[in-house]
Amino acid sequence: MAANLTSNLSRGGRSLLSGLINGNGSSLLRPTCETTRNHLHAQLQQQRTFIQMRTKLNVVDNSGAKQVMCIQALRGKKGARLGDIIVASVKEARPGGKVKKGDVVRAVIVRAAMQRGRCDGSEVKFDDNAVVILNKQGEPIGTRVFGPVPHELRQKKHLKILTMAEHLA
């Protein structure tokens, strides 16, 4: 059957299916390295996961930190989602800020790349993972929050962050 197919589809002594048929007539689909690499890269970009240990997050308040790394998610075995509180270590900080590099802080996740379903059937997801740093009483250290903040934080009792945000999503 494969021999008949190749003889019907050959032009100028060259088969159109030469890349798909092995020397013994069995059909093989061998993708090239480039197409495999592009496919894996697309899958990694589409795959959105929980915020878990060693995830780096941007800080979107004016507390002095630029980037933190998650040490522990305080709720759930898989990791943290939008509105959850995490324990994080400050990896980058601005000079003269309220928090310093190496400080261990608590933070609430205000933007997550993993999608979250809403009651009306829509879903919300962001391009990056971002947090607001909290003090020991659970209040934000900074006085401003930059960028959009979802209204799901209202259900998680983070009303102070919502009042400081410049845009609600």
Q: What is the CA radius of gyration of the chain?
A: 25
Q: Do 25 and 75 belong to one domain?
A: no
Q: Looking at the 3D structure of the chain, how many domains does it have? A: 2
Give domain status of residue 125, yes or no.
Answer: yes
Q: Do 104 and 147 belong to one domain?
A: yes
Q: Do 10 and 78 belong to one domain?
A: no
Sheet strands (E) in 20-164: 56-59, 65-73, 85-93, 104-111, 116-117, 123-124, 130-134, 145-149
Q: Do 13 and 89 belong to one domain?
A: no
Give domain status of residue 51, yes or no.
Answer: no
Q: Do 38 and 68 belong to one domain?
A: no
* Mean pLDDT for all residues in the chain: 77
Residue 90's pLDDT band (boundaries 50, 70, 90)?
Answer: very high
Share of the chain above pLDDT 90, in %: 31
Give the amino acid at 85.
I
Residue carrying structure tokens 């933007």? 111
Predicted TM-score of the model (pTM): 0.68
Which range (4-18, 61-75, 88-102, 116-130) has the least confidence?
A: 4-18
Q: Do 125 and 97 belong to one domain?
A: yes
Residue 163 phi, psi (nearest 5): -70, -30
Q: Residue 20 contacts by C-beta under 8 Å, 6 or more apart in sequence? A: 27, 28, 29
Quote the tokens at residue 111: 């933007």
Q: Do 27 and 69 belong to one domain?
A: no
Q: Do 41 and 60 belong to one domain?
A: no
Assess whether pLDDT exceeds 90 at residue 12: no
Assess whether pLDDT exceeds 70 at residue 141: yes
> CATH no. for residue 94?
2.40.150.20
Q: Do 160 and 99 belong to one domain?
A: yes
Give domain status of residue 10, yes or no.
Answer: yes
CB 91 within 8 A of CB 69: yes
Sheet strands (E) in 22-122: 56-59, 65-73, 85-93, 104-111, 116-117
What domain range is 153 assigned to? 56-168
Strand 116-117 vs strand 123-124: parallel, antiparallel, or unpaired?
antiparallel
Q: Do 162 and 87 belong to one domain?
A: yes
Better pLDDT: 42 or 136: 136
Rounded to an integer, what distance in angstroms lies between the CA atom of residue 58 and that of residue 123?
22
Rounded to an integer, what distance in angstroms lies between the CA atom of residue 116 and that of residue 109?
13
Q: Do 28 and 103 belong to one domain?
A: no
Q: Do 24 and 60 belong to one domain?
A: no
Residue 129's pLDDT band (boundaries 50, 70, 90)?
Answer: very high
